[in-house]
Structure 1
Amino acid sequence: MNTRTLPNRRSTRNAVSSREAAHWESEASCRKVGGDAFFIESKAGIQRARAVCVKCPVLVECLLNQQVKDKGDRTYQWGVGGGLSAVQRRVLAVEALLGNRPNLVMARLLVSPQWSYRLRNLSSARWSLDGVVQGLREDGLMVDLVTVRVAVWWLGGEGSRLARGRHWRHQLRDHLDLIVALREKGARFLDIAVFFGVPEVNGAKAVSELLLAVAAEKEMAA
C-alpha cells in the first residue's frame, strides 16, 4: 500500500490478534538479547534497548501489550517496553486523557529505512514537533502529533511538546488551555510536567505556580 494513502487512524487490533494466534512473542528480537538488557535505567541503557526494539518485527504488538500491562499498574517505573521508556509510556497515558492515541502502524512506517532519514532530518531542522508534523504532511503523509512523537522516541529523540529555543518555563503559559484541560481530566502536576517534556519536579512546581497565578489574576479582575 502506498504510504501516502495510509489512513491516519488505521486500527492495529487486527494485526495484533493475528500475531497472537501465531505467538508473536516468539518473534521478538529481545528474546535473542536477554530480558535484563531492557531493565537498565541509565540513559545509555535505555538507548541500547531501544536500538534493539526499533528493528524488532513485532514492535507494534509489543507496545500495545505493554500498554495493557501499564494500565493495570500505573507506576510506569520499570524498563523499556515496546521501544519506549517508562516515562514515555506515562506520557502516552496522559495523551490518551485528551483522546490522543498514536497510529502505531504509521509510527512504525516512519522509523523504517524508507522514512527514518527524513524524520531525523526534520527533527533536527524544525523547532517543534508541530514543525515535524507539518514537514511530513508536506511530503504527503497524513500524520498527527502523537504518532510522530512515538516515532521520534523510537529513533532516540526527545519528542518534547515544547519548541526549542525558548526556556520551557516561558512556554508553559502559551499552553495554559491545555494544562487546564489536563487538570480537569485528572492529570497530576507531575503528569503534566512529563507530558510537556520538562524536568519533573521543577516542572510540576512551575505548573502549580502558573495555575495559582492565573487564578489570582482572575480573582483580581472579578
Structure 2
Amino acid sequence: MTILNIGSRRDTTMAAPPPDWKVNARCRAEDVDAEDFFTTAKAGQRRAREACVQCPVIVECLRQTRAFDVGVDRWGIGGGLDGLQRRALELEEWLGNRPNLAMARLLVSPVWLGRLVRLRSSCGSLDGMVRALRGDGLMVDVVTVRVAVWWSGGQAPHVAWRGDARGLRAQLVGDHLDVILRLRSMGARYADVAAWLGVPRDTGMRALKDILPGLETGEAS
C-alpha cells in the first residue's frame, strides 16, 4: 500500500504518525510508479521495496499501513513490507515480540545496510545475525532484525531449510512445535503460521497439516 491511498482512519493500536508525514514519502516522487506497490510482478515489487528502503518515513508508513490491514488478508506493499510479512509481524506481536522500528530503520541506513546484507548470507539464521550485530555494539532482537532484513529485500525466515518436505517437517517438530501450537491456539491459520515461519505458503501448510492434527486434538502424534 503506497501512502497515496492512505486516508484518515485513526490508528488505535500504536502512536499515530505526525499529520504531515506523508509529504516526505518516497512514493510521491515523480520517478516512482504507484502501481508497483500493488502489482504481483516481481520486478515491480522489487522497485517498490527499493523506494521504501530509501524513504525517510518508512516507519510512519508501516504503522499507518498496519492500521488499515483488516482481518487476515493483507494486500500490497506498504511501509516496506508485503502482505505476508505484515501478517507475520502481527503474529510476532501475538507472541509478545515487538520490533524496535527505529533500530530497524538504522540497520537499513547507508551506515549499516552493507553490514546487514553481508550478514544475511554469512550467518545463516536470524539468531546468528542478532549475535553478530550485538557484537557490533547494537542492542537488537530477532524481530527487529527480521523487519530490517525484510526492508533490505531479504526473506528472514525462522526456518532455514533447503526445500526438502521431510526435512521441513522434522525441523518444525524439533525446533518450533511449541510456538506453532501456541499460535494455533490463538487462532492463527495454517497459512498464517507458514508466513510467520517464513516458508512457502503451500509447502508450509502441507507440513503443518501433516504434523498437527493429532496433537491439536489431543491424540498421539
TM class, shorter-length = 0.7 to 0.9
The answer on whether the counterparts of 2:126 and 2:146 sit within 8 Å (CA) in structure 1 is yes
Aligned to 2:134: 137
Cα 1:24–1:128 shift into 2, 3 Å? same
Within 2, Cα distance between the matches of 1:24 and 1:207? 41
The AA in structure 1 aligned to 2:36 is: A
Aligned to 1:194: 195
Within 2, Cα distance between the matches of 1:28 and 1:197? 28
Within 1, Cα distance between the matches of 2:134 and 2:161? 21
Cα 1:123–1:220 shift into 2, 3 Å? closer
CA RMSD of aligned residues (A): 2.1
Aligned to 2:41: 42
Higher relative contact order (CA 8 A, sep 6+): 1
Within 1, Cα distance between the matches of 2:57 and 2:169? 38
Within 1, Cα distance between the matches of 2:43 and 2:111? 26
Question: What's the CA shift string for 1:121-141, capped at 9, x where partnerless?
Answer: 111101111111111111111
- Residue 185 in 1 paired to residue 182 in 2? no
The AA in structure 2 aligned to 1:125 is: S
Question: What's the CA shift string for 1:98-154, capped at 9, x where partnerless?
Answer: 111111100000000111111111111011111111111111111111110010011
Within 1, Cα distance between the matches of 2:220 and 2:146? 39
- Residue 75 in 1 paired to residue 47 in 2? no
Structure 2: 5+ residue runs without aligned partners? 1-13
Q: Counterpart of 2:212 in 1: which secondary structure?
A: helix
Aligned to 1:159: 156
Query: Which of 116, 121, 143 is residue 119 of structure 1 equivalent to?
Result: 116
TM-score normalised by the chain length of structure 2: 0.84
The AA in structure 2 aligned to 1:92 is: L
Task: List aligned pairs for 1:58-69, cutoff 5 A.
Answer: 58-69=57-68
Within 2, Cα distance between the matches of 1:212 and 1:87? 24
Report deviation, 1:219: 4.5
TM-score normalised by the chain length of structure 1: 0.84
The AA in structure 2 aligned to 1:211 is: L
Structure 1: 5+ residue runs without aligned partners? 1-11
Number of aligned residue pairs: 202
Report deviation, 1:215: 6.2
Cα 1:189–1:74 shift into 2, 3 Å? closer
Richer in helix (by share): 1
Q: Which moved more, 1:29-38 or 1:129-138?
A: 29-38
Identity across aligned pairs (percent)? 50
The answer on whether the counterparts of 1:137 and 1:143 sit within 8 Å (CA) in structure 2 is yes
Cα 1:64–1:215 shift into 2, 3 Å? closer
